[in-house]
Structure 1
Amino acid sequence: MNPESFKPQHFLWHFDGGVGTVTLNRPDRMNPLTFESYAEMRDMFRELVYVPEVKAIVVTGAAGNFSSGGDVHEIIGPLVEMDMPGLLKFTRMTGDLVKAMRNCPQPIIAAVDGICVGAGAIMSMASDLRIATPEAKTAFLFNRVGLAGCDMGACAILPRIIGQGRASELLFTGRTMGAEEGERWGFFNKLSTKADLMKDAQDMAARLASGPTFANGMTKNQLNMEWDMSLDTAIEAEAQAQAICMQTKDFERAYHAFVAKKKPVFEGD
């Protein structure tokens, strides 16, 4: 994947200053996901593991909404007609998108405005950081369409962000979580106005992109791996990860900059 020339078919991609921006772009339907967009985003996030030029990612939606989730006509309708092997193939494919988002080393920032429901809420959840407007409406609404709340890793990830009790409420009821509630609960890191949303998300991404990106990738990896580690195992894993980071040139650059009373310029190696 060449980030300069990458032209996806089912969403928009913009690359500048080390930051890749993914925009879900079906505004007439509030940016729903399709079989094809799921697969193309999954493949993109998988490839980003091998694209160090991309140092941070912003995911957003066009025209005032993040995403309305799976397209009713292009996904929900066909699912009703599928047999069990076909359904399992689909649910594994959607779960693979979350795996790819969590396994790519670049930090992902979700810039959320308006509707953010179903698989859209999952994509926001699977990101590393989330910024929203006061108009953001987030719902894990699987229960409301007769499905379990355990979709695409929701029962594993959401409780770790907002706590077991709050996650249980959202997953059992499918109700909408408002933006202020989401910030209070820790789902959103920050609230921005509509006018400032993308600027704030891009500024945060640029800050991360200018940091020690190898070390940032190590942090993300440890955040993933330590979910099911004992404390002793986690401390040992972090000791090894930090020793590796201490061998990087960025660590040396930071030391020399500190001695010279200058701001370090990191290069990700």
Structure 2
Amino acid sequence: MSYDFLYEVGEDGIAHITLNRPEVMNALTFDIYAQLRDLFAGLRGNDEVRVVVLTGAGEHFCSGGDVHGIIGELFKRDMKGHLEFTRMTGAVVQHMRLLDKPIIASLNGMTAGAGAVLALASDLRIASEKARIAFLFSRVGLTGADMGAAHMLPRVIGMGRATELLMLGDTIDATTAERYGLVNRVVPYEELQEATLQWARKLAQGPGFALSMTKHMLNAEQHMDIVSALEAEAQAQALMLMGEDHRLFYEAAKDKQKPKFTGR
């Protein structure tokens, strides 16, 4: 399939999605939203892919929706047309969260609007020291609650910080984002690609089914009380204890070797 971004899968099981409109800071179009939605949905059944890396070409990650290509066009639509668009953008996030594989957002530069939400919807975020993040919806007369931001952001950085970022729409630098807990790690700009690949390789070589179950449980337990969470984890872990990867770990440990996981 042809995409309006770069997409490739290496022999190591790492899929690379690179937003590729550097002349407009990798702004998103209607087609790119739809293509990302369908790609993330399809990856759920793709056993060749074990980890996804999402980044932007050039010096920036993503500046959000294209001002002229999207905003200008939306003014020509009625309410039903607007709702179709917002549901489509939300579906991108839905399929990212439902994807049973880790997603790493590699933030090289400006990460704004919908770009910030794509980073937020990823499982891990590693940023270069040049990265800047802004949930700027309120600055353009829109609610900060877009594409699931009001659901996800408080769970990542807390209600107070989330309210600050979604209401003020201020741009924060990478150091502040790390202090808030919005990014997991900040590295020098020239080291970003290698640092991202180190994480991706480690995850790709890890126990795929166990990582999938971990992501599933992190999603599910956000809505559980402690008793329900404990029972859910007991059932999940009992299943994993019978898994092939856990047995491979045990056999390797007996031989003082490093396990080679199969993802089962």
Tell me the TM-score normalised to structure 1 length.
Answer: 0.96
2:207 and 2:233 map into 1 onto residues whose CA distance is 17
> What is aligned with 1:9?
3
Structure 2 alignment gaps of length 5 or more = none
Per-residue Cα deviation, 1:53-99 (whole angstroms, up to 9, x for no partner): 10001000000100010001110111122211111111111000000
Shift of 1:8: 3.5
Kept in 2: contact 1:23–1:61 (CA 8 A) = yes
1:153 and 1:231 map into 2 onto residues whose CA distance is 24
Kept in 2: contact 1:8–1:40 (CA 8 A) = no
Q: Bigger CA drift: 141-150 or 223-232?
A: 223-232
> What is aligned with 1:203?
198
Structure 2 counterparts to residues 31-42 of structure 1, below 5 A: 31-42=26-37
Residue type at the aligned position of 2:109: G
1:247 and 1:79 map into 2 onto residues whose CA distance is 52
> What is aligned with 2:147?
152
Q: Secondary structure at the match of 1:138?
A: strand
Q: Secondary structure at the match of 1:195?
A: helix
CA RMSD, aligned part only? 0.8
Q: Secondary structure at the match of 1:148?
A: coil
Structure 2 counterparts to residues 135-174 of structure 1, below 5 A: 135-174=130-169
Q: Secondary structure at the match of 1:8?
A: coil
Per-residue Cα deviation, 1:1-43 (whole angstroms, up to 9, x for no partner): xxxxxx5321101211110010000010000011100011111
1:134 and 1:103 map into 2 onto residues whose CA distance is 30
Q: Secondary structure at the match of 2:172?
A: strand
1:107 and 1:8 map into 2 onto residues whose CA distance is 23
1:234 and 1:252 map into 2 onto residues whose CA distance is 25
Residue type at the aligned position of 2:6: L
Kept in 2: contact 1:12–1:22 (CA 8 A) = yes
Corresponding residue pairs, total: 263
- % of aligned pairs identical? 49
Matched, 1:253 2:222: no
> What is aligned with 1:4?
none
Tell me the TM-score normalised to structure 2 length.
Answer: 0.98
Q: Given the superposition, is the C-alpha separation of residues 198 and 50 from structure 1 closer, same or farther in structure 2, using an over 3 Å criterion?
A: same
Q: Secondary structure at the match of 1:20?
A: strand
Shift of 1:203: 1.1
Matched, 1:127 2:122: yes
